[in-house]
Amino acid sequence: MGEPLVDIRRARRIMRDRPSATPTPTRDERLIEAYRELVDRRAEASDDEIIESADPDRFGILIEKLFEVADNRVSIYSDHLCRKSVTVDEEGVIVVDGAYWSNPEVITAAKRFLSKKDSKLGIIVGKRLDVSEGQSIAGSEFIRRIVRSPDRKGDIVLCLSADGMVGDTRLASVNFVVAEKGYRVEEPGEGTPAVSRFGRPNLNHQLFDIFDQMLRAFDDALSHGAKNCLKLVYPMGSHILNKPASFSEACTLADLDIHQFLIDQVHCPDTPTKIGWRGIGHWLNSLLAPI
C-alpha cells in the first residue's frame, strides 16, 4: 500500500510546479475567442488593466501576443518551461489536458518573432528543462523548433540550472515572460494566479533588469567553474542543438552530463499518464506541425 502513495505525492508535487497548476475548465470556443479579442484590444491600446492568464488556452493567447508585439527582445524565466498542462486525478494518475510551451501556435509566434533581424530571445530555466522521455534538449518541442527554424535571423540564449541555483546564487521565485510592451508573471504553486499587462513599461524594464542580473550570475558562476548551471548560445546560423556557438568545435553537448538539467514531467517514473480530450488535439497538432 505504501508504493502508490509515493507516486501520488510525486505527481502532485509536479503539478504544483507547473504554470497555474489548476484543473483546466471546460473548453468554450466562444469564451476563448472573446478572450483573444480582449487581449488584442488591451495590447493595441496599451491598456494597463490586469489580464488573468492561467489556464492553457489563455496562456497560449497571451504568449502569442507578447511575441507579436515585441520589437526585438523577449526574455523568459521559467522553473521548467513546461511542455504540457496536467492535472492529477484521485488515483494519482497524471492527466495531460492541454499544452503550454509545446503549443504549436506559441512555437509559430516565437519563430515569427525570431525571423526578424536583430531579434533576441533569452530563456532561463531554473529547475531543469521539461523534455520528452528519453530525449535530450531536443525533447523540448519549443526549443527544438525555434533553434532549427531555417527562417531564424535572431539570437537565442538558453541557460539551464539543475536546482534553482547558479553557483551560490538563488534564481527568481516567480516565472515571467517579458517583451518591450508587455509581460506575464506568475508564482508557481497550486491555485496561484497568473497576470499580464500591456501598459506598464516601467515594469517591463524591471523584469528585463531581473533577467539580466540572472544572466550575469550565470556568466560569473560558469567563469568560476560552477557545475550546477549551463549556458548555450545559438546565434543566427547556428541550428544544431547539440553544438551551440558557446562550445568549441571539439565539444558538443554529448560530452556533458546534460541529463542533470533535464526532467520529463509528463512521464514520471512508475506514475501512470493518460491523455485527456483537450490534450489529444494539442498532441495531434504537435505531430503535424513542421519541424
What is the structure's pLDDT at 252? 60
Low-confidence winner among 135-139, 154-158, 213-217, 243-247 (lowest mean pLDDT) = 243-247
φ and ψ at 165, to 5 degrees?
-125, 150
Positive or negative CA dihedral for 164, 222, 248, 209?
positive
Average pLDDT (72-77) is 98
Q: Between these two residues, 246 and 284, which has the higher pLDDT value?
A: 246
Domain of 71, in residue numbers: 2-288
* 3 state SS of 281: helix
* pLDDT band for position 129 (cuts 50, 70, 90): very high
What is the structure's pLDDT at 278? 37
As a whole number of angstroms, the distance between CA 243 and CA 234 comes to: 9
* pLDDT band for position 288 (cuts 50, 70, 90): very low
Pick from 122, 152, 114, 115: which is nearest to 232 by CA? 122
Q: Which amino acid is at 258?
A: I
CATH number of the domain at 8, please.
3.30.870.10
What is the structure's pLDDT at 227? 87
Average pLDDT (194-198) is 92
pLDDT at 19 over 70: no
As a whole number of angstroms, the distance between CA 116 and CA 244 comes to: 20
Count of structural domains within the chain: 1
Q: Between these two residues, 93 and 212, which has the higher pLDDT value?
A: 212
User: Rg of the Cα trace of the chain?
Assistant: 18
